[in-house]
């Protein structure tokens, strides 16, 4: 378990961490999610000891490590740009932590081969990092971090430098790996889809503060504020409320909309709007609209629904939402 208490870090006038407190349960895979500059990487690097806190403390498994250097924190760290040791073979990279610890050669060789098999790099032992693809390099970096049996595994935007397909494959693979290895893992990402896909807990950060912590479903279904709502998944503004585009229902006229809304037990405004554009995106259809107050918004319906209703550009509709947030506060939505 990792406990961060009142962590504070500033760079000149910029407050990277504004008295952040966070508990990361043992064995969990927690995502630190936030836009750039939200302090998520600084928080991760503070847990690793790569960044010194100005205030507050960090405990790993009960031990106060606030003033310990990274060497003595029992961590494994994976960098966005792999930080591969370029002059070493894959085997030497993965063996590095064990070689430093002067483990017997046979043990090192066995462990390295095991790890390379787990990360799917068996047979690449004698290659250099330059001869690997980005995804392979990152798996090598992961094997290297795991080789020293860390108490916690820290990943700083580990898939950020990879293309979309490889990224999706790797995070599913990371999830499976975590289910096997069960090491407490913290992953920094700015990609909400990645956080929802891979993590079992998400902490949303904004401007050096934690906005909300919880499991992916509760964060998505019950965001505590506009920021979390708009950062985790797409949102549309319907009247004075933020709603998920897939919760928007479009009817031909006001009366139908009102009766269906009542039947569903939903509350919120009924908004007259005109369809601007209908975009077919595989199994779902995105409908771009302009409300009669001039506000543009997007609704998302299934392909079947779109086929049935036959929405066309220029058509007048009335929109309502199955679920909506409380009325939008005064603060601007990031």
Contact residues for another protein, defined by CB under 8 A:
48-50, 69-71, 73, 75-77, 79, 81, 83-87, 96-97, 100-101, 141, 144-145, 147-148
Q: How far is the CB of 70 from another protein (least distance, A)?
A: 5
What CA–CA distance (Å, rounded) separates 205 from 190?
10
Burial (Cβ within 10 Å: 0-12, 13-18, ≥19) of residue 286: middle
What CA–CA distance (Å, rounded) separates 46 from 70?
9
Evaluate whether 237 touches 291 at the Cβ level (below 8 Å).
no
Q: How far is the CB of 163 from another protein (least distance, A)?
A: 21
Q: How far is the CB of 124 from another protein (least distance, A)?
A: 17
What CA–CA distance (Å, rounded) separates 46 from 77?
12
Select from 306, 2, 317, 302 the least CA-distant residue to 150. 2
Q: How far is the CB of 167 from another protein (least distance, A)?
A: 20
Q: How far is the CB of 2 from another protein (least distance, A)?
A: 15
Q: In terms of CB distance, is 76 or 268 closer to another protein?
A: 76
What CA–CA distance (Å, rounded) separates 174 from 198?
8
Q: In terms of CB distance, is 118 or 168 closer to another protein?
A: 118
Evaluate whether 204 touches 228 at the Cβ level (below 8 Å).
yes
Q: In terms of CB distance, is 33 or 154 closer to another protein?
A: 154
Q: How far is the CB of 95 from another protein (least distance, A)?
A: 10
Q: How far is the CB of 96 from another protein (least distance, A)?
A: 5
- State the Cα angle at 3 between 7 and 186, rounded to 5°: 95
Q: How far is the CB of 25 from another protein (least distance, A)?
A: 22
Q: Is the four-CA dihedral 82, 84, 90, 92 of positive or negative sign?
A: negative
Q: Which residues contact 228 (CB under 8 A, 6 or more apart)?
A: 204, 211, 212, 219
Beta carbons within 10 angstroms of residue 288's beta carbon? 15
Q: How far is the CB of 148 from another protein (least distance, A)?
A: 6
Q: In terms of CB distance, is 141 or 162 closer to another protein?
A: 141
Any bridge partners for residue 317, and if so which? 273
Dihedral pair phi/psi, residue 85, rounded to 5°: -80, 105
DSSP class per residue in 146-176: HTT--SEEEEESTTTTS-HHHHHHHHHHHHH
């Amino acid at each position: 378990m990792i406990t961060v208490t009142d962590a504070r870090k500033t760079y000149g006038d910029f407050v990277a961490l504004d008295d952040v407190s966070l508990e990361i349960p043992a064995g969990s895979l927690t995502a630190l999610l936030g836009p750039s500059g939200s302090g998520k990487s600084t928080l991760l690097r503070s847990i690793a000891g790569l960044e010194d806190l100005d205030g507050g403390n960090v405990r790993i498994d009960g031990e106060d490590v606030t003033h310990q250097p990274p060497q003595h924190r029992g961590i494994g760290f994976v960098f966005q740009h792999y930080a591969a040791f370029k002059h070493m073979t894959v085997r030497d990279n993965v063996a590095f932590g064990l070689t430093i610890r002067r483990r017997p050669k046979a043990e090192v060789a066995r462990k390295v081969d095991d790890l390379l098999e787990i990360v799917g790099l068996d047979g690449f032992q004698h290659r250099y990092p330059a001869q690997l693809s980005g995804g392979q390099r990152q798996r090598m970096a992961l094997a290297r971090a795991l080789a020293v049996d860390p108490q916690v595994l820290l990943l700083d935007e580990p898939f950020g430098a990879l293309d979309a397909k490889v990224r999706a494959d790797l995070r599913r693979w990371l999830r499976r790996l975590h289910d096997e290895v069960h090491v407490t893992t913290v992953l920094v990402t700015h990609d909400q889809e990645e956080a929802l896909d891979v993590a079992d807990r998400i902490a949303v950060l904004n401007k050096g503060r934690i906005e909300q912590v919880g499991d992916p479903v509760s964060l998505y279904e019950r965001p505590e504020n506009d920021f979390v709502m708009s950062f985790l998944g797409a949102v549309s503004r319907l009247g004075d409320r933020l709603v998920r585009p897939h919760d928007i229902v479009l009817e031909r006229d006001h009366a139908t909309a009102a009766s269906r809304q009542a039947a569903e037990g939903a509350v919120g405004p009924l908004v007259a709007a005109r369809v601007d554009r209908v975009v077919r995106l595989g199994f779902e259809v995105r409908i771009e609209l302009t409300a009669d107050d001039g506000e543009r918004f997007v609704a998302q319906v299934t392909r079947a629904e779109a086929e049935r209703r036959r929405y066309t550009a220029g058509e007048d509709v009335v929109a309502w939402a199955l679920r909506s947030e409380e009325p939008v506060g005064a603060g601007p939505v990031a």
